[in-house]
């Protein structure tokens, strides 16, 4: 029996491996913890997003008996997005499982499964980091590739809207006007509410870079409110470390970096509403396997390939096909420290 025939066991089928990688304990990024994105599986590798632009107009008065003002219908637009394909491979050599292959041992399969699980867990964490990076891009309005510079989708261009001018919080001003920061917060809230219209939301959240956050909590207008907030922190539950609420906005220092790719600009803040139905969506496309053609996409997939020539290795393949997106990017407001 070839050394690696054990991998012909159903425990290492595409179904079992895919089930395993989706059960690996998830190491969430902050966006995953917030639960912003509603995930949906799709059966294609692209998604069509239809926009229905509701219009609300004031009706001009007319004389009795004269022609009435004509109602305007809603405009509908459809946009197609190709779902990003994120794939990763690793190789388990025969030597790595040599000592797990005691002849007749009942734990033989279990030991090799542990090796595979370890590799899948390691690969899954890299998928986690990649997904967080894509989601951060959706919150900023510009989804970037792994290099941190290649633009996959500029949501403002895709939806034909212009982002509001970046709001300068002027946090390094030595003599700020009274209530200056609060006025900036109100400006952010009004812009978001104007874009949402009648859509309800829970609160406005801001992911801040470290310098923005440090200057914000040290600002003389904010410092007292921050100190009071932190004094009462032990009375509250579910609060993220390095976050507080001021002027109706939850400010949070966002930390995320892999290698040289920093997810957050130290001097910037990104504002977005939380709790808006359908605002942040994530579409998961099916894998490019024969077994998964035209099936609903799952968050992750895993499959193996055995060295058919010499039986010296088993290659593990994992992939995800996620498209996180903000369906109304005009609500994404950008702020700067100074």
Q: What domain range is 137 assigned to?
A: 5-51+79-336
Task: For residue 328, tell me if it sits in a domain.
Answer: yes
Task: For residue 70, tell me if it sits in a domain.
Answer: no
CATH number of the domain that residue 137 is part of: 3.90.1690
Q: Of 18-27, 130-139, 196-205, which range is least confident?
A: 18-27
Task: For residue 66, tell me if it sits in a domain.
Answer: no
**Strand pairing report for 167-168 and 333-336:** parallel
Task: For residue 61, tell me if it sits in a domain.
Answer: no
Residues counted in the chain: 338
The mean pLDDT value for 11-36 works out to 75
Pairwise pLDDT comparison (66 vs 300), residue with the higher score: 300
Q: What is the pLDDT of residues 199-211, one digit of tens each?
A: 999 999 999 999 9
Q: Of 102-111, 166-175, 293-302, which range is least confident?
A: 102-111
**Confidence band of 187 (pLDDT split at 50, 70, 90):** very high
CA dist 29 → 136, 263, 302, 312 (Å): 10, 11, 21, 37
Task: For residue 63, tell me if it sits in a domain.
Answer: no
Task: For residue 62, tell me if it sits in a domain.
Answer: no
* Model pLDDT, residue 59: 54
* Model pLDDT, residue 103: 45
Q: What's the pTM value of the predicted model, to 2 decimals? A: 0.84
Spatial separation of the C-alpha atoms in residues 60 and 70, rounded to whole Å: 10
Spatial separation of the C-alpha atoms in residues 65 and 205, rounded to whole Å: 51
The mean pLDDT value for 167-181 works out to 94
* Model pLDDT, residue 265: 95
* Model pLDDT, residue 3: 47
pLDDT at 145 over 90: yes
Q: Are 187 and 230 contacting, i.e. CB atoms less than 8 angstroms apart?
A: no
**Confidence band of 238 (pLDDT split at 50, 70, 90):** very low
Rg (CA), the chain: 26
Task: For residue 74, tell me if it sits in a domain.
Answer: no
Task: For residue 180, tell me if it sits in a domain.
Answer: yes
Q: Number of structural domains, the chain? A: 1
Strand partners, 93: 313
């Amino acid at each position: 029996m070839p050394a690696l025939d054990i991998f012909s066991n159903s425990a290492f089928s595409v179904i079992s491996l895919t089930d395993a990688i989706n059960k690996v304990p998830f190491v969430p990024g902050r966006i995953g913890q917030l639960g912003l994105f509603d995930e949906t599986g799709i059966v294609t590798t692209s998604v069509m997003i239809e926009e229905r632009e509701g219009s609300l107009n004031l009706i001009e008065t007319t004389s009795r008996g004269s022609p009435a003002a004509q109602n305007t219908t809603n405009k509908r637009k459809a946009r197609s997005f190709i779902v990003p394909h994120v794939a990763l491979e690793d190789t388990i050599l025969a030597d790595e499982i040599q000592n797990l292959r005691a002849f007749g041992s009942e734990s033989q399969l279990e030991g090799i499964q542990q090796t595979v699980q370890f590799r899948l867990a390691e690969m899954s964490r890299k998928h986690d980091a990649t997904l967080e990076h894509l989601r951060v891009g959706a919150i900023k309005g510009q989804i970037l590739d792994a290099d941190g510079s290649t633009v996959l989708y500029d949501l403002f261009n895709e939806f034909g809207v212009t982002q509001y001018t970046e709001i300068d919080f002027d946090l390094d001003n030595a003599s700020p006007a009274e209530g200056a920061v609060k006025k900036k917060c109100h400006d952010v809230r009004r812009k978001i509410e104007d874009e949402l219209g009648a859509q309800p939301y829970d609160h406005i959240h801001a992911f801040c870079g470290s310098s923005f956050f440090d200057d914000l909590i040290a600002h003389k207008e904010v410092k007292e409110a921050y100190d009071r907030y932190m004094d009462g922190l032990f009375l509250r539950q579910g609060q993220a470390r390095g976050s507080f609420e001021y002027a109706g906005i939850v400010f949070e220092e966002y930390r995320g970096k892999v290698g040289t790719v920093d997810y957050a600009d130290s001097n910037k803040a990104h504002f977005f509403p939380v709790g808006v139905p359908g605002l942040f969506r994530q579409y998961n496309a099916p894998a490019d396997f024969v077994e998964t053609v035209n099936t609903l996409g799952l968050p992750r997939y895993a499959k193996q390939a055995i060295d058919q020539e010499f039986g010296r290795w088993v290659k593990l393949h994992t992939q995800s096909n996620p498209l996180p997106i903000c369906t109304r990017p005009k609500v994404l407001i950008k702020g700067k420290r100074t």
